[in-house]
Amino acid sequence: MRIAGTTRLAGIMGWPVAHSRSPVLHGFWLDETAVDGAYVPLAVRAENIGAALRALPILGFRGCNLTIPHKRTALSAVDRVDPLARRIGAVNTIIVMPDGTLEARNTDVFGFRESLREAAPDWCPGSGPAVVLGAGGSSRAVVAALTDAGVPEIRIVNRTLSRAEDVAHDIETPGTPITVHSWKEIYKVQRDAGLLVNTTSLGMAGEPPLIVDLLLPPTAPVIDIVYVPLETRLLTAARRRGNPVVDGLGMLLHQGRPGFEAWFGAAVSVTPKLRAAIVATLAPPN
Ligand code: ATR
Q: Which of 71, 184, 188, 273 is catalytic?
A: 71
Of 122, 93, 88, the C-alpha closest to 105 is 93
Which one-letter amino acid corresponds to residue 204?
A: M
Spacing of C-alpha 107 from chain mean position:
7
DSSP code string of 109-168: HHHHHHHHHHH-TT--GGGSPEEEE--SHHHHHHHHHHHHHT-S-EEEE-SSHHHHHHHH
Ligand 1 atom 7: residue of nearest CA: 136
Q: State how far the Cα of 141 lies from the Cα of 199, in Å rounded to an integer.
A: 10
Q: Helices 137-149 and 108-119: crossing angle, nearest 10°?
A: 60
135 within ligand 1 shell (Cβ under 6 A): yes
- Ligand 1 center from residue 200 Cα (angstroms): 5
pLDDT for 39: 98
Spacing of C-alpha 277 from chain mean position:
19
The answer to whether 255 and 107 have CB atoms below 8 angstroms apart is yes
Of 231, 233, 232, 281, the C-alpha closest to 253 is 281
93 within ligand 1 shell (Cβ under 6 A): no
- Ligand 1 center from residue 28 Cα (angstroms): 31
138 within ligand 1 shell (Cβ under 6 A): yes
Average pLDDT score, the chain: 96
pLDDT for 59: 97
Question: What atom of ligand 1 comes closest to residue 164's alpha carbon?
Answer: 18
- Ligand 1 center from residue 239 Cα (angstroms): 24
Question: What atom of ligand 1 comes closest to residue 208's alpha carbon?
Answer: 27
Spacing of C-alpha 25 from chain mean position:
14
Ligand 1 atom 23: residue of nearest CA: 201
- Ligand 1 center from residue 158 Cα (angstroms): 8
| pLDDT above 60 for 241 | yes
Residue 74 has φ and ψ, to the nearest 5°, of -65, -20
pLDDT tens sequence across 226-240: 999 999 999 999 999
Q: State how far the Cα of 50 lies from the Cα of 55, in Å rounded to an integer.
A: 9
202 within ligand 1 shell (Cβ under 6 A): yes
136 within ligand 1 shell (Cβ under 6 A): yes
Of 175 and 47, the one with more pLDDT? 47
What's the full length of the chain, in residues?
286
Q: What percent of the chain has pLDDT over 70?
A: 99
Torsion of CA 241, 157, 142, 76, to 10 degrees: -160
pLDDT tens sequence across 71-128: 999 999 999 999 999 999 999 999 999 999 999 999 999 999 999 999 999 999 999 9
Ligand 1 atom 22: residue of nearest CA: 200
pLDDT tens sequence across 151-189: 999 999 999 999 999 999 999 999 999 999 999 999 999
89 within ligand 1 shell (Cβ under 6 A): no
Please indicate whether residue 188 is annotated as part of the active site. no
- Ligand 1 center from residue 134 Cα (angstroms): 6
